[in-house]
């Protein structure tokens, strides 16, 4: 049986800033990134009465793919609802969609899907969109413990942690279990949306991460040349491939933060949250829109 183990921490330099990268993209070949952390609770514990995972969301979501891996590992069925699928994707499956289907995902396309009308059987486990669930705390606490151990072993005085947010679940639980400052930025909704997300998962605002706003509003999943450029630059500078949905926004915000707030006595770490399978799709879309020499 596979398991995920303490992921390595790499040192890089970007814009002359020394930055550590927590390589959660390398946790495991199939079960990696923050989705592996968020779903680790289900992976690690026994649920004899469960035989099916039910979830819903976008048809290219990283969470969908990771749930398909989880279901396969557990020997469970996986039923996933999505509102829409393009005929293009149906004809030429790729990325998370293709691999989730290969793992046995049963996709139900229903433009009228209504969560409040979903009736669960006793043997079905429901996982909310993007894995915004309390159980995510279990695996993210392990990530926090790995960072604490690194701080201790390397005699780090002050650490600041940065990671971009979707539902905000990873950033929230990381801050809850870590005595160091956790900073994030919203990539899906705005700052108010992210605050609400934090509050749903944790009422005590002392545990909420610091939110920095992106310079401009990016619509989630939309293509921005500036995002592709920064993604390419980071890859060239570090030899590390990051995700194309969240990380370009993450890096823009983080580097600007460092530009104005960097202190040599502070150690900075960026959490690589995986999601690379989705890059296949994103890169195709970018090249289709802007051409090969983008
Ligand atoms: C899902 C995902 C996120 C967002 O995680 P949240 O816990 O929902 O904030 C960020 N980066 C990558 C690569 C992801 O796959």
Residue in 61, 165, 247 to alter for ligand 1 test, most ligand atoms within 8 A of Cβ? 165
Residues of the chain short of pLDDT 70, as ranges, are 1
* 3-class SS string, 228-267: HHHHHHHHHHHCCCCCCCCHHHHHHHHHHHHHHHCCCCEE
Residue in 31, 62, 133, 169 to alter for ligand 1 test, most ligand atoms within 8 A of Cβ? 62
CA dihedral sign of residues 127, 133, 134, 137: positive
- Per-residue model confidence (pLDDT) at position 136: 98
- pLDDT tens digits for range 103-134: 999 999 999 999 999 999 999 999 999 999 99
Q: Which atom of ligand 1 is the closest one to the Cα of 131?
A: 8
pTM exceeds cut of 0.95: yes
- For residues 204 and 77, give the distance between their C-alpha atoms in angstroms, rounded to a whole number: 36
- pLDDT tens digits for range 232-244: 999 999 999 999 9
Closest CA to 97 of 75, 67, 74, 126: 67
- Per-residue model confidence (pLDDT) at position 19: 98
Q: How far is the CA of 171 from the centre of ligand 1 (A)?
A: 9
- Per-residue model confidence (pLDDT) at position 1: 55
- For residues 117 and 188, give the distance between their C-alpha atoms in angstroms, rounded to a whole number: 25
- Per-residue model confidence (pLDDT) at position 29: 86
- Per-residue model confidence (pLDDT) at position 158: 98
- Per-residue model confidence (pLDDT) at position 3: 82
In order of start, what are the domains of the chain with their CATH numbers?
Answer: 9-29+136-290 (3.40.50.1100), 36-131 (3.40.50.1100)
- Per-residue model confidence (pLDDT) at position 164: 98
Q: H-type helices in 75-203, by residue range?
A: 87-91, 95-102, 136-153, 169-177, 191-201
**Contact at 8 Å (CB) between 60 and 98?**
no
**CB 168 less than 6 A from any atom of ligand 1:** yes
């Amino acid at each position: 049986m596979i398991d995920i183990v303490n992921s390595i921490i790499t040192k890089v330099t970007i814009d002359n800033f020394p930055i550590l990268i927590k390589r959660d993209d390398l946790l495991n070949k199939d079960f990696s990134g923050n989705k592996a952390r968020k779903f680790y609770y289900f992976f690690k514990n026994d649920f004899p009465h469960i035989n099916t995972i039910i979830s819903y969301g976008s048809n290219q979501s990283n969470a969908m793919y990771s749930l398909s891996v989880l279901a396969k590992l557990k020997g469970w069925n996986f039923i996933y609802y999505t509102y829409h699928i393009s005929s293009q994707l149906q004809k030429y499956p790729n990325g998370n969609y293709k691999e989730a289907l290969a793992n046995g995902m049963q996709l139900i396309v229903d433009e009228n899907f209504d969560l409040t009308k979903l009736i669960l059987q006793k043997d079905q486990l429901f996982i909310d969109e993007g894995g915004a669930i309390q159980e995510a705390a279990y695996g993210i606490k392990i990530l926090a413990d790995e960072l604490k151990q690194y701080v201790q072993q390397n005699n780090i005085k002050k650490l600041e942690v940065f990671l971009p947010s979707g539902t905000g679940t990873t950033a929230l639980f990381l801050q809850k279990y870590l005595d160091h400052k956790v900073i994030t930025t919203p990539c899906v909704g705005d700052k108010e949306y992210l605050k609400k997300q934090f509050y749903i998962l944790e009422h005590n605002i002392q545990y909420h991460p610091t939110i920095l706003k992106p310079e401009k509003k990016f619509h989630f999943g939309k293509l921005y040349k500036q995002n592709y450029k920064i993604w390419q630059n980071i890859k060239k500078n570090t030899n590390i491939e990051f995700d194309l949905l969240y990380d370009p926004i993450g890096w823009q915000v983080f580097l600007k933060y460092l530009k104005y707030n960097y202190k040599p006595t502070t150690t900075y770490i960026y959490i690589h949250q995986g999601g690379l399978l989705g890059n296949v799709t994103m890169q195709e879309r970018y090249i289709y829109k802007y051409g090969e020499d983008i």
